[in-house]
Chains A and B, each alone.
Chain A
Amino acid sequence: DQQVKQNSPSLSVQEGRISILNCDYTNSMFDYFLWYKKYPAEGPTFLISISSIKDKNEDGRFTVFLNKSAKHLSLHIVPSQPGDSAVYFCAALEGSTLGRLYFGRGTQLTVWP
Protein backbone atom coordinates (compact mmCIF):
# COMPACT_ATOMS: atom_id res chain seq x y z
CA ASP A 1 0.00 0.00 0.00
CA GLN A 2 1.56 3.24 -1.19
CA GLN A 3 1.49 5.72 1.67
CA VAL A 4 3.34 8.39 -0.28
CA LYS A 5 2.07 9.09 -3.76
CA GLN A 6 3.52 11.02 -6.64
CA ASN A 7 0.88 10.79 -9.31
CA SER A 8 2.80 12.54 -12.08
CA PRO A 9 5.54 10.29 -13.43
CA SER A 10 7.00 13.10 -15.51
CA LEU A 11 7.07 16.88 -15.86
CA SER A 12 8.59 18.97 -18.64
CA VAL A 13 9.35 22.66 -18.07
CA GLN A 14 11.15 25.34 -20.00
CA GLU A 15 14.31 26.81 -18.52
CA GLY A 16 13.61 29.88 -16.39
CA ARG A 17 10.04 28.87 -15.60
CA ILE A 18 8.68 27.41 -12.39
CA SER A 19 8.61 23.64 -11.81
CA ILE A 20 5.99 22.34 -9.39
CA LEU A 21 6.22 18.75 -8.23
CA ASN A 22 3.39 17.34 -6.18
CA CYS A 23 3.15 14.68 -3.51
CA ASP A 24 0.23 13.28 -1.51
CA TYR A 25 0.29 11.08 1.55
CA THR A 26 -2.24 9.00 3.40
CA ASN A 27 -0.67 8.45 6.83
CA SER A 28 -1.60 11.26 9.22
CA MET A 29 1.19 10.11 11.55
CA PHE A 30 3.85 11.38 9.16
CA ASP A 31 5.45 14.44 10.71
CA TYR A 32 8.53 15.09 8.60
CA PHE A 33 8.80 15.27 4.84
CA LEU A 34 11.79 15.28 2.52
CA TRP A 35 12.56 15.69 -1.14
CA TYR A 36 15.39 13.78 -2.77
CA LYS A 37 16.90 14.31 -6.18
CA LYS A 38 18.34 11.46 -8.22
CA TYR A 39 20.50 11.57 -11.33
CA PRO A 40 20.90 8.45 -13.51
CA ALA A 41 23.34 5.88 -12.09
CA GLU A 42 23.62 7.77 -8.82
CA GLY A 43 21.98 7.37 -5.45
CA PRO A 44 19.33 9.83 -4.22
CA THR A 45 20.66 12.99 -2.63
CA PHE A 46 18.81 15.06 -0.05
CA LEU A 47 17.37 18.31 -1.38
CA ILE A 48 15.06 19.95 1.15
CA SER A 49 12.79 19.01 4.03
CA ILE A 50 9.92 20.34 6.09
CA SER A 51 8.54 19.56 9.51
CA SER A 52 4.82 19.12 9.96
CA ILE A 53 4.72 22.13 12.27
CA LYS A 54 5.56 24.38 9.33
CA ASP A 55 3.79 25.09 6.09
CA LYS A 56 6.72 26.39 4.08
CA ASN A 57 10.47 25.96 3.90
CA GLU A 58 12.71 27.74 1.46
CA ASP A 59 16.28 27.09 0.37
CA GLY A 60 17.51 29.16 -2.53
CA ARG A 61 15.57 28.25 -5.65
CA PHE A 62 13.74 25.44 -3.86
CA THR A 63 10.63 25.86 -1.72
CA VAL A 64 8.53 23.13 -0.19
CA PHE A 65 4.92 23.79 0.81
CA LEU A 66 2.95 21.57 3.16
CA ASN A 67 -0.84 21.45 3.44
CA LYS A 68 -1.55 19.10 6.33
CA SER A 69 -5.32 19.25 6.06
CA ALA A 70 -5.09 18.09 2.45
CA LYS A 71 -2.18 15.74 3.16
CA HIS A 72 -0.36 17.34 0.27
CA LEU A 73 3.04 18.83 -0.29
CA SER A 74 4.70 20.40 -3.27
CA LEU A 75 8.20 21.34 -4.34
CA HIS A 76 8.64 24.56 -6.28
CA ILE A 77 11.81 25.22 -8.26
CA VAL A 78 12.22 28.80 -9.45
CA PRO A 79 13.80 29.45 -11.84
CA SER A 80 14.22 25.99 -13.33
CA GLN A 81 17.58 25.15 -14.87
CA PRO A 82 18.64 22.32 -17.21
CA GLY A 83 20.80 20.90 -14.41
CA ASP A 84 17.62 20.35 -12.39
CA SER A 85 16.62 17.58 -14.79
CA ALA A 86 16.45 14.49 -12.58
CA VAL A 87 14.03 12.21 -10.78
CA TYR A 88 12.57 13.80 -7.66
CA PHE A 89 11.38 11.59 -4.82
CA CYS A 90 9.06 12.69 -2.07
CA ALA A 91 9.61 10.89 1.23
CA ALA A 92 7.98 10.93 4.65
CA LEU A 93 8.99 10.00 8.18
CA GLU A 94 6.69 8.64 10.83
CA GLY A 95 7.13 9.60 14.44
CA SER A 96 10.56 11.20 14.49
CA THR A 97 13.72 11.67 12.50
CA LEU A 98 14.64 8.15 13.62
CA GLY A 99 11.58 6.65 11.94
CA ARG A 100 11.41 4.74 8.67
CA LEU A 101 11.49 6.66 5.39
CA TYR A 102 8.60 6.02 3.01
CA PHE A 103 9.24 7.05 -0.59
CA GLY A 104 6.95 7.94 -3.46
CA ARG A 105 7.52 6.57 -6.95
CA GLY A 106 9.27 9.69 -8.15
CA THR A 107 8.69 12.32 -10.83
CA GLN A 108 11.06 12.73 -13.76
CA LEU A 109 11.65 16.45 -14.28
CA THR A 110 13.02 17.58 -17.62
CA VAL A 111 14.05 21.21 -18.01
CA TRP A 112 14.58 22.18 -21.63
CA PRO A 113 16.41 25.27 -22.89
Chain B
Amino acid sequence: EAGVAQSPRYKIIEKRQSVAFWCNPISGHATLYWYQQILGQGPKLLIQFQNNGVVDDSQLPKDRFSAERLKGVDSTLKIQPAKLEDSAVYLCASSFEGRNTEAFFGQGTRLTVV
Protein backbone atom coordinates (compact mmCIF):
# COMPACT_ATOMS: atom_id res chain seq x y z
CA GLU B 1 0.00 0.00 0.00
CA ALA B 2 1.47 3.35 -1.05
CA GLY B 3 1.86 5.90 1.72
CA VAL B 4 1.08 9.59 1.84
CA ALA B 5 3.12 11.38 -0.82
CA GLN B 6 4.31 14.95 -0.44
CA SER B 7 6.35 17.27 -2.63
CA PRO B 8 8.66 19.01 -2.66
CA ARG B 9 10.79 17.59 0.14
CA TYR B 10 12.64 20.84 0.69
CA LYS B 11 12.00 24.45 -0.25
CA ILE B 12 13.94 27.64 0.43
CA ILE B 13 12.30 30.97 -0.35
CA GLU B 14 12.75 34.60 0.57
CA LYS B 15 10.29 36.33 2.84
CA ARG B 16 7.29 37.83 1.07
CA GLN B 17 7.49 35.20 -1.67
CA SER B 18 4.79 32.60 -2.18
CA VAL B 19 5.10 28.82 -1.97
CA ALA B 20 2.87 25.81 -2.50
CA PHE B 21 3.03 22.26 -1.20
CA TRP B 22 1.33 19.22 -2.65
CA CYS B 23 -0.06 16.11 -0.97
CA ASN B 24 -1.49 12.87 -2.31
CA PRO B 25 -3.16 10.84 0.46
CA ILE B 26 -3.47 7.09 0.77
CA SER B 27 -6.03 5.76 -1.69
CA GLY B 28 -9.48 5.58 -0.17
CA HIS B 29 -8.74 7.93 2.71
CA ALA B 30 -11.46 10.54 2.83
CA THR B 31 -9.84 12.66 5.53
CA LEU B 32 -6.74 14.76 4.88
CA TYR B 33 -4.82 16.89 7.34
CA TRP B 34 -2.12 19.53 7.06
CA TYR B 35 0.12 20.01 10.08
CA GLN B 36 2.84 22.57 10.77
CA GLN B 37 5.82 21.45 12.85
CA ILE B 38 8.13 24.23 13.94
CA LEU B 39 11.58 23.16 15.09
CA GLY B 40 11.47 21.97 18.71
CA GLN B 41 7.68 21.73 18.80
CA GLY B 42 5.11 19.08 18.09
CA PRO B 43 2.95 19.08 14.97
CA LYS B 44 0.05 21.54 15.03
CA LEU B 45 -3.07 20.99 12.94
CA LEU B 46 -3.61 23.69 10.34
CA ILE B 47 -6.57 22.30 8.43
CA GLN B 48 -8.60 19.12 8.14
CA PHE B 49 -10.60 18.09 5.07
CA GLN B 50 -13.33 15.49 4.85
CA ASN B 51 -13.47 14.66 1.13
CA ASN B 52 -13.30 18.16 -0.40
CA GLY B 53 -14.98 19.97 2.49
CA VAL B 54 -13.21 21.74 5.35
CA VAL B 55 -13.87 20.23 8.79
CA ASP B 56 -11.49 22.30 10.92
CA ASP B 57 -9.41 25.30 9.87
CA SER B 58 -9.51 27.18 13.15
CA GLN B 59 -5.71 27.24 13.47
CA LEU B 60 -4.98 28.23 9.86
CA PRO B 61 -3.63 31.81 9.52
CA LYS B 62 -6.10 32.68 6.81
CA ASP B 63 -4.53 36.02 5.96
CA ARG B 64 -1.60 34.21 4.35
CA PHE B 65 -2.34 30.49 4.28
CA SER B 66 -4.82 28.75 2.02
CA ALA B 67 -5.54 25.14 1.21
CA GLU B 68 -7.75 23.29 -1.19
CA ARG B 69 -8.65 19.72 -1.92
CA LEU B 70 -10.23 19.59 -5.31
CA LYS B 71 -12.11 16.39 -6.18
CA GLY B 72 -11.52 15.10 -2.65
CA VAL B 73 -8.14 13.52 -3.37
CA ASP B 74 -4.95 15.61 -3.77
CA SER B 75 -4.46 18.76 -1.76
CA THR B 76 -2.31 21.87 -1.98
CA LEU B 77 -1.30 24.20 0.82
CA LYS B 78 -0.19 27.70 -0.13
CA ILE B 79 1.53 30.46 1.78
CA GLN B 80 1.42 33.98 0.36
CA PRO B 81 3.33 36.01 1.40
CA ALA B 82 5.72 33.95 3.51
CA LYS B 83 7.21 35.20 6.75
CA LEU B 84 10.35 34.11 8.55
CA GLU B 85 8.25 32.41 11.24
CA ASP B 86 6.68 30.14 8.63
CA SER B 87 9.93 28.16 8.51
CA ALA B 88 8.83 24.67 9.55
CA VAL B 89 8.11 21.17 8.33
CA TYR B 90 4.67 20.89 6.76
CA LEU B 91 3.22 17.44 7.25
CA CYS B 92 0.32 15.97 5.38
CA ALA B 93 -1.61 13.06 6.85
CA SER B 94 -4.64 11.04 5.87
CA SER B 95 -7.07 8.68 7.55
CA PHE B 96 -10.12 6.64 6.77
CA GLU B 97 -13.23 8.60 7.69
CA GLY B 98 -11.59 11.00 10.10
CA ARG B 99 -10.26 8.55 12.65
CA ASN B 100 -7.33 10.44 14.07
CA THR B 101 -6.16 7.32 15.85
CA GLU B 102 -5.41 5.80 12.46
CA ALA B 103 -3.80 8.72 10.66
CA PHE B 104 -0.77 8.10 8.44
CA PHE B 105 1.75 10.86 7.89
CA GLY B 106 3.83 11.77 4.87
CA GLN B 107 7.54 12.61 5.04
CA GLY B 108 6.85 16.31 5.12
CA THR B 109 8.12 19.37 3.28
CA ARG B 110 10.82 21.35 5.04
CA LEU B 111 10.33 25.06 4.33
CA THR B 112 13.03 27.60 5.08
CA VAL B 113 12.15 31.28 4.73
CA VAL B 114 15.18 33.58 4.56
What is A's interface to B at a CB cutoff of 8 Å? 4, 6, 9, 32, 34, 41-46, 49, 89, 91, 93, 97-106
Q: How far is the CB of B28 from chain A (nearest CB, A)?
A: 17
Asked whether B93 lies within 8 Å of A43 as measured between CB atoms, the reply is yes
B62 within 8 A of partner (CB)? no
Mask for B26-49, Cβ within 8 A of A = 1, else 0?
000000000000001111110010
Asked whether B101 lies within 8 Å of A42 as measured between CB atoms, the reply is no
29 residue pairs A–B, Cβ–Cβ below 8 Å: A4-B42, A32-B101, A41-B107, A43-B91, A43-B104, A43-B105, A43-B107, A44-B91, A44-B105, A45-B105, A46-B102, A46-B103, A93-B100, A97-B99, A97-B100, A97-B101, A97-B102, A99-B100, A100-B45, A100-B48, A101-B43, A101-B45, A101-B100, A101-B103, A102-B42, A103-B42, A105-B40, A105-B41, A106-B42
Give bound CA distance, A93 to B95, whole Å. Answer: 15
- Find chain A residues with CB under 8 A from B43 CB: 44, 89, 101, 103
Q: Please give me the residue from chain B that is nearest to A49 by CB atom.
A: B101
Q: How large is the interface on B (under 10, 10 to 19, 20 to 34, 35 or more residues)?
A: 20 to 34
B56 within 8 A of partner (CB)? yes
- Find chain A residues with CB under 8 A from B41 CB: 105
13 new A-B contacts at CB < 8 Å, known A42-B108, A103-B43: A34-B101, A43-B4, A43-B91, A44-B43, A44-B91, A45-B104, A46-B104, A89-B42, A97-B99, A98-B99, A100-B45, A104-B42, A105-B41
- Find chain A residues with CB under 8 A from B101 CB: 32, 34, 46, 49, 93, 97
Q: How far is the CB of B98 from chain A (nearest CB, A)?
A: 5
Give bound CA distance, A45 to B42, whole Å. Answer: 13
Q: Please give me the residue from chain B that is nearest to A94 by CB atom.
A: B100
